Amino acid sequence: MIPVLAAAAAPLLAPLAVLGLGLPLPSASPAWVAPLDGDVRVVRAFDPPPRAWLPGHRGVDLDADPGDTVRAAGPGSVTFASDLAGRGVVVVLHPDGRRTTYEPVTATVSVGDVVRAGDRIGVLATGDTHCGGIVSCLHWGLRRGRDYLDPMRLLDPGRPVLLPP
């Protein structure tokens, strides 16, 4: 988003936080960052189902080790930071209405915390994984309303991204 437009949109989106969740939203920023430090290696790509109820992969899995720092991909407010179905999950609502999700994560943030792009939100947890043949991975998701989006599109196209073979 163009910085001027992002700044102009932030005041319009702030009432959504008050009406929907009562959470503050930070000022808008055009910068997005990878949720992990270093080069990003995708071990399972975004593969949305043709219909919402069908199987598919509604995010990307990024190669990571247990204990790795997990960072907010963009500025926003933490709307969930707890266990869900036995896995630690953190959800960040961004000023443009999109939400990013991160799992499995041991959260270092709480609901209502305001984060900036790159802020630490937790560490990659150990436990059951769906990473297919590797020890662990971060599942990173992105939604706008009910629609799942490819979170890799948030990153600078010039950033190195290694896709699975």
What is the structure's pLDDT at 158? 54
Mean per-residue pLDDT over the chain, rounded? 78
Cβ-count burial of 100 within 10 angstroms (0-12 exposed, 13-18 middle, 19+ buried)? buried
Interval 16-63: pLDDT, tens: 443 344 444 444 444 899 999 998 888 888 777 777 776 666 788 899
Strand partners, 92: 78, 100
> For the chain, what are the domain ranges?
3-162
CB 137 within 8 A of CB 70: no
Q: Is the pTM of this model over 0.85?
A: no
Class of 3-162 per CATH?
Answer: mainly beta
Distances in Å between the alpha carbon of 17 and those of 13, 46, 90? 7, 28, 17
Query: For 52, which DSSP code?
Result: T
